[in-house]
Chains A and B, each alone.
Chain A
Amino acid sequence: AQKITQTQPGMFVQEKEAVTLDCTYDTSDQSYGLFWYKQPSSGEMIFLIYQGSYDEQNATEGRYSLNFQKARKSANLVISASQLGDSAMYFCAMTLPQAGTALIFGKGTTLSVSS
């Protein structure tokens, strides 16, 4: 079974600073996908970034980058140049490539960005 662990219930950062949100995972499968989602107070799930287990390079999407350390089973999200609009809940998630496999989520981290 897959498991996602996010150990930071809340993080605080000032505008324009970078912040790292931690995520570790556990699986015995060799092929898997790791995701980060942002959930603002409206409740919608916003896809941020994806990392495949066989991807050799860390994924980047604009201000988001994923620090993938396979041996440590960690997939930390780095947000550079934080903005007030980044304040939200962030979830790390994992799934397997087999059809019909759901995303399994971590407990989430609430990020608060201040001016």
Chain B
Amino acid sequence: GAVVSQHPSWVICKSGTSVKIECRSLDFQATTMFWYRQFPKQSLMLMATSNEGSKATYEQGVEKDKFLINHASLTLSTLTVTSAHPEDSSFYICSARGSSGRVRGEQYFGPGTRLTVT
């Protein structure tokens, strides 16, 4: 199956700094990528939908100025957590959807990035 990578896999940063997380589709073109956040023992909550070449669509309650998303190419989307605070500590997972429009088998997840803000 298709592969989605995320970098870094884990990161520790100080409060007030910014952190960039990359999501890459390695062997297919992903016109749409999704960013999820997951707190311990909770579900994946959709943060935003990232479309190549256009502005991301954020879910209600997600601050777009805090979580900057850039989808500059068909294989790369980045999530930047700006001015991170301890409450931003979470597991961030991206997923990519192929462009054929089929539902089956076209959702690929990255391995996730564990962010800890001290």
Residues on A lying within 8 angstroms of B by beta carbon are: 32-33, 35, 43-45, 47, 50, 52, 89, 91, 95-108, 110
Residues on B lying within 8 angstroms of A by beta carbon are: 31-32, 34, 38, 41-46, 49, 51, 91, 93, 95, 97, 99, 101-105, 107, 109, 111-112, 114
User: A-side binding surface: helix, strand, loop or mixed?
Assistant: loop
A98 and B32 CA atoms in complex are apart in Å by 11
Are B46 and A99 in touch, CB under 8 angstroms? Answer: no
> Chain B contacts of A98 at CB under 8 A?
101
Are B104 and A108 in touch, CB under 8 angstroms? Answer: no
Are B44 and A100 in touch, CB under 8 angstroms? Answer: no
User: B-side binding surface: helix, strand, loop or mixed?
Assistant: strand
A107 and B103 in contact, given A45-B93, A100-B32 (Cβ under 8 angstroms) = no
A103 and B97 CA atoms in complex are apart in Å by 10
> Chain A contacts of B46 at CB under 8 A?
102-104
Are A96 and B43 in touch, CB under 8 angstroms? Answer: no
